[in-house]
Amino acid sequence: MDPDALLRPLLEHNPKVAKELIGQTIELQGRLLPVLASLGVLLGQPVVSLFLAFMLWLAGRAAPGPGGNPSYRQALSAAVVPGLVSLPKALLVGWLCLATPVRGLKPDAISPLSLGVLFESGHGKLDALLTGFDLFVVANLALMYLAARHIMGLRPVAALCGWGPGRRCWPGYR
């Protein structure tokens, strides 16, 4: 990835950044980007997975299912295994980065599977939403829902509402 092609347009359009500091900022970011990206993958993702597992474990303890309270190992597997569905996307984007010049594109914009590649609205926030939304994200969320529902022993509607077995999600539903 070319940090100059990625950062220069962003910094030039930001009125808070002095024009004299753009070159120095890009040089510093170019040196820090590989280090921070590596740390994010090696440390950030495991910490997020452990935290998500902890939250699922707490939710399972607060509303135990018919099988009892889930163990932390069950919660950890429910948090980690659905993320494995995004492995083919990561391999595809990695291959595309090696096969074509990336310049200043972000990995989500490179993926031919995201909606951002198919539809360009011209609005920054909508384009960011579309580039982050693809089949793998939907599959990850669906598997996470099913895994959380399974370890907590909830019915489908109760899992969406966050209530345990035997509790009412809304009046009239049991």
Q: In tens digits, what is the pLDDT along the chain, a chain of 174 residues?
A: 677 777 777 778 777 888 878 888 888 888 888 888 888 889 988 999 999 999 888 888 887 767 778 889 988 998 898 888 888 888 887 787 788 777 766 655 666 777 777 777 777 788 778 777 788 888 888 888 888 888 777 666 555 555 555 555 444 444
The number of beta carbons lying within 10 Å of the beta carbon of residue 98 is 8
**Please, which residues bridge with residue 65 across strands?**
68
The answer to whether residues 102 and 2 touch, using CB atoms and an 8 Å cutoff, is yes
What's the pTM? 0.65
Q: What is the DSSP string of 74-93?
A: HHHHHHHGGGGGGHHHHHHH
Alpha helical stretches, state H, 13-134: 22-39, 45-62, 72-80, 87-99, 107-110, 115-118, 124-131
